[in-house]
C-alpha cells in the first residue's frame, strides 16, 4: 500500500456522532452540499453536477451515494440499505476528482448504453468515483467503497484494457 495521500481527508465514522443517525446524516449531507452545491468540482474544464431531486429532506444523489441496493433509487431510502463504508468516505469524492492526476488515482472511461463514464479509482484504498459526461458538463453517478475483491478485480481489468487500448492507439499514430 502506498502512503496515504495528504489531500485525502480522514473518514467520518458514525461513532463520532454518538451513533445518532440523524446527526450523522445531517453532517454527511453538509459535506456533500459543500463539495457539490456550494461550489462545484471541475474535471477537464467542465463542472460536475448531480441529481437535485429531493427524497426525505436529502437529495436523491446523496441517498444513492450512502446506500446499497439493486432496487430503484426512490425505494432505497431506508436505514436498512445504509452503507457505513460509503458514508464514511463521502468526503473523498471531490478530492479524488480534483487530484485525478495524482499517482494514487487511476482514470479511465467506459461506455454504458449511450453514456460515456469517467471512472476515478483509488486502488490502494478500494474506492471509486464515477461521472458521466453529458455535453458541456459532468454528472456525479456514484462513488463507493469497493467491498468485494471480485468487483475490484473487474474494475482493474477494465482499467487495464482501456489503458492498453489507449497506449496501442497512441503508438500507432506516432
Residuewise pLDDT in 10s, the chain (174 residues): 557 899 999 999 999 999 899 999 999 999 999 999 999 999 999 999 998 888 888 888 898 899 986 555 555 566 678 999 999 999 999 999 999 999 999 999 999 888 999 999 999 999 999 999 998 999 999 999 999 999 999 999 999 999 998 887 665 655
The tally of CA atoms less than 13 A away on the side-chain side of residue 141 is 17
pLDDT at 123: 96
Nearest to 112 by CA among 129, 130, 127: 130
Could you tell me the sign of the dihedral formed by the alpha carbons of 89, 125, 148, 16, in that order?
negative
pLDDT at 2: 58
What Å distances lie between residue 117 and 79, 113, 133, 142, CA to CA?
Answer: 29, 10, 6, 11
Q: Residue 100: which residues within 8 A CB-CB, separation 6 or more?
A: 43, 107, 120
> How many C-beta neighbours within 10 Å does residue 4 have?
11
- Nine-digit cell at 139? 454528472
pLDDT at 9: 97
Q: Domain boundaries in the chain?
A: 14-173
pLDDT at 167: 80
pLDDT at 51: 85
Three-class SS state of 118: strand
As to burial, measured by CB atoms within 10 angstroms (0-12 exposed, 13-18 middle, 19+ buried), residue 170 is exposed
Do residues 159 and 106 touch, judged by C-beta distance below 8 A?
A: yes
Amino acid at each position: 500500500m502506498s502512503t496515504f495521500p495528504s489531500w485525502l481527508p480522514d473518514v467520518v465514522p458514525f461513532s463520532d456522532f454518538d451513533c445518532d443517525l440523524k446527526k450523522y446524516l445531517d453532517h454527511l449531507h453538509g459535506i456533500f452540499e459543500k463539495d457539490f452545491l456550494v461550489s462545484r468540482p471541475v474535471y477537464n474544464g467542465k463542472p460536475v453536477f448531480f441529481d437535485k431531486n429531493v427524497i426525505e429532506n436529502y437529495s436523491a444523489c446523496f441517498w444513492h451515494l450512502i446506500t446499497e441496493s439493486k432496487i430503484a433509487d426512490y425505494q432505497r431510502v431506508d436505514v436498512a440499505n445504509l452503507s457505513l463504508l460509503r458514508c464514511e468516505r463521502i468526503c473523498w469524492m471531490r478530492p479524488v476528482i480534483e487530484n485525478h492526476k495524482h499517482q494514487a488515482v487511476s482514470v479511465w472511461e467506459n461506455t454504458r448504453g449511450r453514456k460515456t463514464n469517467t471512472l476515478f479509482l483509488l486502488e490502494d484504498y478500494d474506492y471509486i468515483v464515477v461521472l458521466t459526461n453529458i455535453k458541456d458538463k459532468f454528472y456525479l453517478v456514484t462513488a463507493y467503497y469497493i467491498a468485494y475483491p471480485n468487483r475490484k478485480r473487474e474494475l482493474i481489468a477494465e482499467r487495464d484494457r482501456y489503458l492498453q487500448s489507449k497506449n496501442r492507439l497512441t503508438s500507432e499514430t506516432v
